[in-house]
Amino acid sequence: MNLSFKGKLSLNRRQRTILEIGAALGFIMAIIIGRFMLDEGSIGTNLSERNLPPSFEHFFGTDWLGRDMFARTIMGLSLSMGVGLAGAVSSAAIALVLGLAAATLGKTADTIISWLIDLFLSVPHLVTLILISFALGGGFKGIVFGIALTHWPSLARVIRAEVMQVRSADYVHISRKMGKPRTWIAIHHIIPHLIPQFLIGFLLMFPHAILHEAAVTFLGLGLSPHEPAIGIILSESMKYLSSGLWWLAFFPGLSLLLVVRSFDAVGERLRVLMDPART
């Protein structure tokens, strides 16, 4: 009876975790689908509807030019997710290459890469990201390169540790004694072991990339002011908060927070599912 109860409890916890992942992914997909249902006319200027508060016609109200804030927020979130995706994919690729190199290319390579990891981790991501974006002239290229070059160290350290652990495993030593080449060992032993850690690390990196893109754009060093980015929306809305137009910043900021937390929740819940000790 006791074992049956524990099994039932574990199953319920796993189901709850899967449900939480589904809810977070559903919210993210709703934003992506909503973006494709909108066009540039959805955020067009309409001076006859300026500064309207939230209503059933305009869920997030309108701004000082009569633009629908709900449509602008959806477009801004999808743009931020696109930039974050490009930056996170590039950064994860850098982490994978450097993590594998540190663990497989000898002591000298390990020392140099470990020093680089410690160097980048010693400086806040946002500071380095701002400097790189400014040096590259901002815009899409600057923000993507900045994210790619600043968010890789933590994942690279995890990959290095995982490869070191796999290399010392008995089945790897047996494969070597059987004459298996390094390529075969990497494909059949190392890479399959890295896939779960890599995916989870990427998913946990993604929300940081989105949030940092919005922060740098808010400061004026990211995407162009002509883009409907969340950072631009929040930056412009700051001028009107003293006029009582609270909805201009509240709803876009809350939406950004929910998107970041949704991606973070997906990564954390997948980590729970892949670790039997937590389920």
Compute the 3-state secondary structure of the chain and give helix, strand, coil in percent, each to the nearest 5: 80, 0, 20
| CATH number belonging to domain 14-39+63-278 | 1.10.3720.10
How far does Cα 270 stand from its chain's mean position?
Answer: 14
- Amino acid (1-letter code) at residue 180: K
pLDDT over threshold 50, residue 5:
no
pLDDT over threshold 60, residue 118:
yes
- Under a CB-based contact definition with an 8 Å cutoff, are residues 249 and 241 in contact? yes
pLDDT over threshold 70, residue 4:
no
Please state the domain extents for the chain: 14-39+63-278
pLDDT score of 135: 86
pLDDT over threshold 60, residue 213:
yes
- Percent of the chain with pLDDT strictly greater than 70: 93
- Under a CB-based contact definition with an 8 Å cutoff, are residues 212 and 126 in contact? yes
pLDDT over threshold 60, residue 9:
no
What's the rounded mean pLDDT across residues 171-186? 79
Both tokens of 53, joined, read 């508060």
Element (DSSP H or E) covering residue 149:
helix 139-150
Lowest mean pLDDT among 68-72, 237-241, 274-278: 274-278
Give the bridge partners for 62, in sequence order.
Answer: 68
Say how far apart CA 206 and CA 264 lie, in whole Å: 8
pLDDT score of 12: 63
What's the rounded mean pLDDT across residues 172-195? 80
- Under a CB-based contact definition with an 8 Å cutoff, are residues 247 and 67 in contact? no
pLDDT over threshold 70, residue 152:
yes
- Under a CB-based contact definition with an 8 Å cutoff, are residues 213 and 84 in contact? yes
pLDDT over threshold 60, residue 278:
no
Is pTM beyond 0.85? Reply is no
- Under a CB-based contact definition with an 8 Å cutoff, are residues 147 and 212 in contact? yes
Quickly state the pLDDT bin for 1 (edges 50, 70, 90).
Answer: very low
pLDDT over threshold 80, residue 10:
no
DSSP for 25-82, written as a single string: HHHHHHHHHHHHT--GGGG---GGGTTPPP-SSSTT-B-TT--BHHHHHHHHHHHHHH
pLDDT score of 25: 86
Quickly state the pLDDT bin for 94 (edges 50, 70, 90).
Answer: very high
Average pLDDT over all residues of the chain: 83
Residue 189: CA count within 13 A, CB half-sphere: 21
Compute CA distances 65 → 44, 49, 127, 205, 248, whole Å.
9, 8, 34, 36, 12
Sign of CA dihedral 40, 248, 20, 199: positive
Both tokens of 112, joined, read 């140099």
- DSSP assignment letter at 1: -
What's the rounded mean pLDDT across residues 31-52? 81
